[in-house]
Amino acid sequence: MARITSAITLVACHDCDLLHRLPSLKEGEVACCLRCGAVLARRRSDPVVRCAALTLSALLLFVIVNFFPLLGLNLGGRETSMTLLEGALELGGHGMWDVVALVFFTSWMFPLLHFLVLLYVLFPLALGRVVPGALTMFKAAGLFSPWGMIGVYMLGVFVAIVKLADLATVIPGMAVYALGGLLVCSTAAGHALDHDAVWKQIGRTKG
Amino acid sequence: MTAKGRGWIRCPTCGLPSQIQDHHPCPRCLAPVLSRKPNSLQRTWALTLSAATLYVPANVYPIMTVIQMGHGQSKTILAGVLALVEANMWPLALIVFIASVIVPLGKIIILMYLLISIQMGVTTHLKERMILYRLMETFGHWSMVDIFLVTMLATLVKMGTLATIEPEIGVSFFGAVVVLTLFAARAFDPRLIWDSAHGHL
């Protein structure tokens, strides 16, 4: 057991591999690598519950996003509108399935999977329970998160609104506001999550 | 002293350092550990060079055709930026220019510079090179903006000869460039910058 106990105070920098003995951090304190400056550890006040709550909000907003139009366009009385999913699948009509896959996964599938997988692990954990498969699911969350690009998509929406204003009347739909709220919730959830605290609770070596 | 130098391996999945061998399961999360990303230099070179090659057709071929009042006009990425400048939409032109030109090109150049400096065993500017690496990591995915934009415009602007926007093959190439640079950045191991400077490559 001595080896495992010592491993807990030791931390290796993820960017330069320098080994550090980590001092015990107070709430809100951050430990940085002495050599390259990378953030090694950050003590959160509430590592699990806050993230779980924010992720649930993001998931509910994601449901709303999918039932309302994102943008509408009115040109001389003719109207068109699109939802998030319609936008992702549109290029299939032009045979560009590679782009369809890219947009569908980054703007729809990966964000959704990320929320679901996180909730599956964190919600029971907030109640003090470790669900079966928690390890695999939390690993999956780490794989999905860099490929969810709702933030970039939102910038695209803003550019589209300004660009199209020249051509026709643009009608921002309900889904734009829901998507904005979702972005705030998921960003805040990302900041609230203490990965190391979760690994400690669901991992095989306790402590 | 690095973890590797002491015989420790930081688990790439959960971050726990432990005294085990490569490919053995991490005692905490059970994922196989590796002290460095496998064949990082070769894989990063391959992905970066592929991205650089596809960057040419991505910029030569049009990404969309704008049909307005019966007139059709195909536009490349740069032509799209220029059109925004001509329409006096400077902030927008700047956003699209940074996201579609500066970010992918900058990523390819930074990756090549980092790879070459590692292979030449350069011992200076270590912190500066880490800043370049982090810049690339932070802003890398913003080049997706143009792809999202074209799909949105193509979905919305469908009013026959009055106004229609159709996607063109350039989007496919540009999408491939973005995905390849994202994979290249993930294949790159920043710890090699320090290993190489200390002669442990």
Q: What would the CATH number be for the domain defined by B39-197?
A: 1.20.140
- Chain A residues lying within 8 Å of B147, measured CB to CB: 99, 102-103
Q: Are A51 and A148 in contact (CB under 8 A)?
A: no
What SS3 state is found at B169?
coil
| Helix A174-192, helix A49-67: angle, nearest 10 | 160
Q: What is the pLDDT of residue A204?
A: 81
Q: Are A71 and A173 in contact (CB under 8 A)?
A: yes
- Least CB-CB distance to A36: which of B127, B169, B176? B127
Give the whole-angstrom CA distance, residue A123 versus residue A145.
18
Q: Are B187 and B74 in contact (CB under 8 A)?
A: no
Q: Show me where the domains of chain B are located.
A: 1-35, 39-197
What SS3 state is found at A82?
strand
Rounded to an integer, the average pLDDT of A54-61 is 97
Query: For residue A124, what is the enclosing H or E element?
Result: helix A110-126
What SS3 state is found at A2?
helix
Q: What is the pLDDT of residue A180?
A: 97
> 168-197 in B: which are within 8 Å (CB) of A?
169, 171-172, 175-176, 178-179, 182, 186, 190-191, 193-195
> 38-67 in B: which are within 8 Å (CB) of A?
none
Q: Is the dihedral of CA A123, A127, A128, A131 positive or negative?
A: negative
- Of A118, A17, A99, the closest CA to residue B148 belongs to A99
Give the whole-angstrom CA distance, residue A46 versus residue A60.
22
Does A19 sit within 8 Å of B2, measured CB to CB? yes
Amino acid at B165: I
| Helix A195-202, helix A134-144: angle, nearest 10 | 160
Q: What is the pLDDT of residue B177?
A: 97
The chain A residue lying nearest B171, using CA atoms, is A99
Give the whole-angstrom CA distance, residue B192 versus residue B187.
12
The chain A residue lying nearest B131, using CA atoms, is A36
Q: Are A20 and A11 in contact (CB under 8 A)?
A: yes
Output DSSP code: residue A139.
H
State both tokens at B46. 């391959």
Q: Are A54 and A187 in contact (CB under 8 A)?
A: no
- Chain B residues lying within 8 Å of A140, measured CB to CB: none
Q: How confident is the model at residue A206 (pLDDT cuts 50, 70, 90)?
A: low
Q: Where are the alpha helices (DSSP H) in chain B?
A: 40-60, 77-86, 90-97, 103-119, 126-139, 145-156, 170-187, 191-197
For A99, phi then psi, to 5°, come to -70, -40
The answer, for B73 touching chain A at a CB cutoff of 8 Å, is no
Does B163 sit within 8 Å of A168, measured CB to CB? yes
Q: What is the pLDDT of residue B69?
A: 85
Q: Are A198 and A122 in contact (CB under 8 A)?
A: yes
Query: Above 80 in pLDDT, residue A35?
Result: yes
Output the tens digit of pLDDT for each of chain B's 201 residues: 899 999 999 999 999 999 999 999 999 999 999 999 999 999 999 999 999 999 999 999 999 999 988 888 999 999 999 989 998 999 999 999 999 999 999 999 999 999 999 999 999 999 999 999 999 999 999 999 999 999 999 999 998 888 999 999 999 999 999 999 999 999 999 999 999 999 887
Q: Are B41 and B119 in contact (CB under 8 A)?
A: yes
Q: What are the residues facing B158 on neighbouring strands?
A: B164
Output DSSP code: residue B2.
B
- Chain B residues lying within 8 Å of A143, measured CB to CB: none
| Total beta-carbon pairs less than 8 A apart between chain A and chain B | 190
Q: Are B99 and B112 in contact (CB under 8 A)?
A: no
Give the whole-angstrom CA distance, residue B8 versus residue B10.
7
- Chain A residues lying within 8 Å of B4, measured CB to CB: 17
> 102-141 in B: which are within 8 Å (CB) of A?
126-127, 130, 133-134, 141
Amino acid at A121: V
Share of chain A above pLDDT 90, in %: 80
Q: Are B168 and B65 in contact (CB under 8 A)?
A: yes
Q: What is the pLDDT of residue A2?
A: 38
Q: What are the residues facing B67 on neighbouring strands?
A: B72, B164
Does B145 sit within 8 Å of A156, measured CB to CB? yes
DSSP secondary structure of A167-182: TSEEEE-HHHHHHHHH
Does A142 sit within 8 Å of B13, measured CB to CB? yes
- Chain B residues lying within 8 Å of A195, measured CB to CB: 14-15
Count other Cβ atoms within 10 Å, centred on residue B76: 18
Count other Cβ atoms within 10 Å, centred on residue B83: 16
Share of chain A above pLDDT 70, in %: 95
- Chain B residues lying within 8 Å of A163, measured CB to CB: 84, 89, 92, 149, 153
- Of B67, B150, B59, the closest CA to residue A91 belongs to B150
Query: Above 70 in pLDDT, residue A1?
Result: no
The interface predicted TM-score of the complex, written ipTM, equals 0.93
Does A71 sit within 8 Å of B156, measured CB to CB? yes
